[in-house]
């Protein structure tokens, strides 16, 4: 169906028919690949005398503007990484520094910084919905030049301390990359005892494309791990608190005790108050 030709006869259609047609149009065409077509349809709708039909045109126009704005935002993230002057830049980030249970997880990502096919919507993983994180995780894996994920469990955290494990899990993720980076951008912390060139970036997951992608991979991986743990330890709500010290989690610890995945070194105050 040629939606544009049909829409040129909108004066013979009621608003519900037009709304259904616009929905079909949006499902068939993305703004990314059909920006000009979106603008033509928006123009057609805006020329109709009915206000509710005009609003549909304005909605399509806003989608185009929103898409352009997102492209510019993400392009700035890529440009941040490019500004260091290296071709192979790895971003590394961690998830799980503060929870009472479960591992700390790090991801490292090397992107093609010269592409114009940006991965849109990348950001600090905490600012994204779970469904968008899952979707982006797959896209990042498909488009990245290289990526890796590293995990250190609760026993290692209790044994070595979270500061050590935070640094170590960064190093493990970088070491596991199939492509050796020329520069490593780490979120928040300079990596200690590290042979490669490293720059740390405060709030890097909102500034750097590669760190943002690493943040998403690590978050999705760890959240899915905690959902799996919730099947074995259903009383603790790991499927939604992912090991953090929510009230339901703390109450479960006091009622049922600790599990094999709890960080004992994080629980001294809670256990002493039992």
- Coil, helix or strand for 8? coil
Helices (H), the chain: 3-7, 15-28, 35-46, 51-82, 130-143, 154-160, 162-175, 209-232, 238-241, 247-256, 268-272
Binding residue ranges: 93-94, 187
Which of 81, 114, 148 is the last residue before a domain boundary? 81
- Coil, helix or strand for 149? strand
- Could you tell me if 36 and 116 lie in one domain? no
- Could you tell me if 100 and 142 lie in one domain? yes
User: Average pLDDT for residues 14-32, to the nearest whole number?
Assistant: 85
> With bands split at pLDDT 50, 70 and 90, how would you rate the model's confidence at 1?
very low
Q: What is the Cα–Cα distance from 7 to 15, expressed in whole angstroms?
A: 12
Give the total number of structural domains in the chain: 3
- Could you tell me if 162 and 185 lie in one domain? yes
pLDDT of 62: 92
- Could you tell me if 74 and 161 lie in one domain? no
Binding residue ranges for a divalent metal cation: 93-94, 187
Q: What is the Cα–Cα distance from 214 to 140, expressed in whole angstroms?
A: 9
- String of b and e for 175-192 (b: at least 16 CB within 10 Å)? eebeeebebbbbbebebe
Average pLDDT of the chain?
93
Classify residue 273 by its DSSP letter.
T
pLDDT digits (tens, 9 = 90+) for 257-272: 999 999 999 998 888 7
pLDDT digits (tens, 9 = 90+) for 90-136: 999 999 999 999 999 999 999 999 999 999 999 999 999 999 999 99
Q: Does residue 4 register a pLDDT over 80?
A: no
Q: What is the Cα–Cα distance from 240 to 152, expressed in whole angstroms?
A: 21
- Could you tell me if 89 and 219 lie in one domain? yes
User: Average pLDDT for residues 136-141, to the nearest whole number?
Assistant: 98
- Coil, helix or strand for 99? coil
Q: In terms of pLDDT, which residue wins out, 102 or 274?
A: 102
Which of 81, 106, 133 is the last residue before a domain boundary? 81
Q: Residue 12 is part of which domain span?
A: 3-81
């Amino acid at each position: 169906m040629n939606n544009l030709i049909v829409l040129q006869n909108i004066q013979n259609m009621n608003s519900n028919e037009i709304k259904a047609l616009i929905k079909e149009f949006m499902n068939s065409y993305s703004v990314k690949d059909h920006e000009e077509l979106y603008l033509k349809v928006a123009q057609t709708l805006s020329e109709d005398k009915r206000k509710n039909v005009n609003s549909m045109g304005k909605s399509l126009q806003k989608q185009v503007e929103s898409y352009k704005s997102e492209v510019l935002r993400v392009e700035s993230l890529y440009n941040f990484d490019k500004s260091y002057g290296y071709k192979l830049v790895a971003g590394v980030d961690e998830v799980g520094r503060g929870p009472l249970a479960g591992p700390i997880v790090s991801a490292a990502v090397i992107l093609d910084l010269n592409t114009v096919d940006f991965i849109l919507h990348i950001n600090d993983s905490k600012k994204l919905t779970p469904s968008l994180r899952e979707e982006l995780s797959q896209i990042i894996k498909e488009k990245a030049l290289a990526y890796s994920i590293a995990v250190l469990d609760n026993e290692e955290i209790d044994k070595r301390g979270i500061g050590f494990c935070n640094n170590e899990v960064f190093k493990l993720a970088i070491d596991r990359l199939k492509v050796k980076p020329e520069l490593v951008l780490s979120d928040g912390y300079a990596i200690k005892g590290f042979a490669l060139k490293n720059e740390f970036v405060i709030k890097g997951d909102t500034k750097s494309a590669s760190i943002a992608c690493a943040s998403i991979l690590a978050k999705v991986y760890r959240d899915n791990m905690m959902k799996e743990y919730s099947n074995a330890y259903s009383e603790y709500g790991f499927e939604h608190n992912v090991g953090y010290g929510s009230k339901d989690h703390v109450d479960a610890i006091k009622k049922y005790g600790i599990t094999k995945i709890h960080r004992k070194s994080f629980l001294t105050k809670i256990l002493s108050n039992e």
